[in-house]
Amino acid sequence: MIKKFSLLLAGALVCLSSGANAAETWRAWNIHNDGHPNTAALDKFAELTKEGTKGEVTLEVFHGGVLGSQPDALEQVRLGAIEVGNFNLGPIGPMVKEANLVSLPFIFKSVPHMFRVLDGEAGDIISKAMADADLKPLAWFDAGARSFYTQKAINTPADVEGLKIRVMNNDLYTSMISAMGGNPSPMAFSEVQQALKTGVVDGAENNFPSYKNVGHYEVTKNYSLSEHLIIPECICVNTKKFEALSPELQEAVTEAAKEAALFQRELWEVQSAEARKDVEAAGIKVNEIADKGPFQEAMVKVYDDYLAANPDMKKLVETAQATE
Ligand code: GTR
């Protein structure tokens, strides 16, 4: 009897350590609420993962940033305390140097150009570096372009002078605002609306869905289309958790992420146009900037300083710039 029991126990242990049949539940972090395209895309990812892995991997998605701020959640995923999340590559830059490519202002000519860069050699280098840092990207989301919103319209870099502008956590964004004579204020996303309302900051920058979805449009009057940053987002998973899955399950989860990303990109196109219309209907003035040249010129110093401090990033920058 004892012998039989120990055999059974040994069998169970082998099974557990190989991870062969152990069904997994992964926690997924999402900063956005209902009504944002990424929320729908993450729910889709959960549905497709369950289907594709036949219930071997189940995702429990936590929306609205309830599992913590983005920089905290990134650390949690790296540690394996949260398994997966939809992250903006902006706050990943300080953790994974290669990912900072996308945070150089005006590095991409357009969203399609950004996807072409990610699908090429530069994307492979970024993906590998992120995976090595325990943030393996399974698929890329569209996040449009980020523009400034403030009380008065911005037409030239001089209009940013003296303004306190909220940015995400990344030294490149602080340099970007400083290069225009503004005062950068890094802050968690969840604090921005209150900071705008109370005048702690004069403005912020984001895409239309985020501007609308968390009510930033209620407390700023002008959205000026500087489109200075085009930052991709990822579905990123803790590398070790992912690699502990069987090759079949890895493939199924990757497929689910890629399909969810295609869904996200379609939704993004429709819903970011809708978000623009909605804020305009609510009285926001969307200000077209006739000439973005002066903004690009103001960024020369940002590139120079950055490349002087990170000469090993030069090749990656050139690869992105040379991508048609
Ligand atoms: C949004 C993005 C979030 C977060 C936020 C921010 O556009 O989807 O992940 O980065 O911007 O400004 O903090």
Which domains are seen in the chain, by residue range?
21-142+231-274 (3.40.190.170), 146-230+279-322 (3.40.190.170)
Ligand 1, atom 10, residue with closest C-alpha:
88
| DSSP structure class, residue 95 | T
Torsion region of 199: left, alpha or beta (phi above 0 gives left; psi -120 to 50 gives alpha): left
The atom of ligand 1 lying closest to the CA of 88 is 9
Residues 288-295 have a mean pLDDT of 96
Above 80 in pLDDT, residue 8? no
Residue of 146, 147, 189 to test ligand 1 pocket, by largest number of atoms within 8 Å of CB: 189
Can you give the pLDDT at residue 31? 98
Query: Two tokens at 289?
Result: 């900037």
Instruction: Check pLDDT > 50 for residue 4.
Output: no
Residue 19 pLDDT > 80, yes or no? no
Out of 69, 86, 205, 206, mutate this one to test ligand 1's pocket (max ligand atoms within 8 Å of CB): namely: 206
Q: How far apart, in Å, are the Cα atoms of 108 and each of 60, 67, 104, 118, 188? A: 34, 31, 9, 11, 25
Confidence of residue 300 (pLDDT cuts 50, 70, 90): very high
Between the CA of 53 and the centroid of ligand 1 the distance, in Å, is 30
Q: Which band of pLDDT confidence, cut at 50, 70 and 90, is reported for residue 7?
A: very low
For 194-251, how does the pLDDT look when each residue is reduced to its tens digit (9 = 90+)? 999 999 999 999 999 999 999 999 999 999 999 999 999 999 999 999 999 999 999 9
**Considering the chain, what percentage of its residues have pLDDT values greater than 90?**
93
**Ligand 1 atom nearest 166 alpha carbon:** 12
Exposed e or buried b for every residue in 73-86, given b needs 16+ CB within 10 A? Answer: bbebbbeeebbbbb
The amino acid at 225: L
Q: Which atom of ligand 1 is nearest to the CA of 91?
A: 10
Asked if pLDDT for residue 313 goes beyond 70, the answer is: yes
pTM of the complete model: 0.93
Indicate the pLDDT class of residue 22, thresholds 50, 70 and 90.
confident
pLDDT in tens, 117-163: 999 999 999 999 999 999 999 999 999 999 999 999 999 999 999 99
Q: Within a 10 A sphere around the Cβ of 113, how many other Cβ atoms?
A: 15
Distance from residue 246's CA to the centre of ligand 1 (Å)? 33
Residue 271 makes CB contacts below 8 A (sequence gap 6+) with: 36, 37, 209
Whether 168 lines ligand 1, by a CB cut-off of 6 Å, is yes
Q: Is the pLDDT of residue 266 over 70?
A: yes
What pLDDT is stored for residue 21 in this prediction? 52
Ligand 1 pocket residue status of 189, Cβ below 6 Å: yes
Residue to probe by mutation, ligand 1, list 38, 63, 70, 228, most atoms within 8 Å of CB: 70
Q: Is residue 238 in contact with ligand 1, taking CB distance under 6 Å? A: no
Give, using CA atoms, the residue closest to atom 6 of ligand 1: 189
Q: Residue 17: what pLDDT?
A: 44
Q: What is the pLDDT of residues 274-283, one digit of tens each?
A: 999 999 999 9
Confidence of residue 2 (pLDDT cuts 50, 70, 90): very low
3-state helix, strand, coil in the chain (%, to 5): 55, 15, 30
For position 12, what pLDDT does the model report? 46
Residue 3 has pLDDT above 80, yes or no: no
- Taking CA atoms only, the protein residue closest to ligand 1 atom 2 is 88
DSSP 49-88: HHHHTTTSEEEEEE-TTTT--HHHHHHHHHHTSS-EEEEE
How buried is 5 (Cβ within 10 angstroms: 0-12 exposed, 13-18 middle, 19+ buried)? exposed
